[in-house]
Amino acid sequence: MHKGRLEAFSDGVIAIIITIMVLELRVPADMDGHHSDEIAALRPLLPVFLSYTLSYVYLGIYWNNHHHMLHATRHISGGVLWANLHLLFWLSLVPFTTAWMGDHAWAPQPTATYGVVLLMAAIAYWILVQTIRKAEGADSLLAQAVGRDGKGKISPLLYVVAIGAAFVHPAISYALYVTVALIWIVPDRRIERVLSDGRAAGATGHPGRP
C-alpha cells in the first residue's frame, strides 16, 4: 500500500517532467511573430531536440532503476518518502536546465549547469538508496544488489569532470553526458564487469542511478 502510492506518485512526477520538456519544442517565430512552415526553420530546434532526447533517456534510466529498486524494497519509512521527494525535486529541475542548454548550444555555463543538476540527482538517488538500505537491513535483497556499485561510483565522477570541462569546451561535456547514459543503457557485459568488478547485473535491472 505504502509502496504502491510512493511508486504511483513518482511515476506521475517523472511522467509529467518528461512531457513538460516537449513544451520547449516550438517552431521559432520570426520578427513579426510568424512561424515558418518550412522544415529548414526547424534547424535552430536541433540542439533543443537533442538535449530533450538526452534528458528523456536520463529520466528513462531513473524511472527504470527506481522501478527495480522499489521492486526489491519491502519497508517504506518516513525517511524514504522524503528521500524520494528530494530525488524528484532535482529531477524536476531537469526541464529547466534542458531548455537552457538546448537554447545555447556550445555555451559553457548552461552546459555546466545541466551537469550540476544531474550530479545533484545522482547524490539524491544515492541518499535514497542508503535510506532504503537502512530501513531494509544489511542482509536485504537490495543491499546485495547494490553491493559493490562501480557503475554508481563512476558516474558522479564523470559529471564533475563534465562540469569543469564545459569551460574548456562544451563538446567534452556533451560527450561525457552521453557516455554516462550509454554506460547505464547498453547491457554490455564486459563494460559491466570492468566497472562493477565481476558482478553482471544487466543494465536495465540495475537498481542504481546514472
Q: Which residue ranges make up the site for a second copy (CB under 8 A)?
A: 1-2, 5, 7-9, 11-20, 22-23, 25-27, 35, 37-39, 42, 53, 56, 60, 63-64, 67, 71, 77-79, 81-82, 85, 88-89, 92-93, 95-96, 99-100, 103-104, 107, 109-110, 113, 185, 187, 202-205
Q: How far is the CB of 125 from a second copy (least distance, A)?
A: 17
- Cβ closest to a second copy, residue 79 vs residue 150: 79
Q: How far is the CB of 71 from a second copy (least distance, A)?
A: 6
Burial class (CB in 10 A: 0-12, 13-18, 19+), 80: buried
- Helix %, strand %, coil % of the chain (to 5): 75, 0, 25
At residue 187, the 3 state secondary structure works out as coil
Q: How far is the CB of 70 from a second copy (least distance, A)?
A: 8
- Rounded Cα–Cα distance for residues 111 and 121 (Å): 16
- Specify whether the CB–CB gap between 121 and 87 falls below 8 A: yes
Q: How far is the CB of 93 from a second copy (least distance, A)?
A: 7
DSSP 149: -
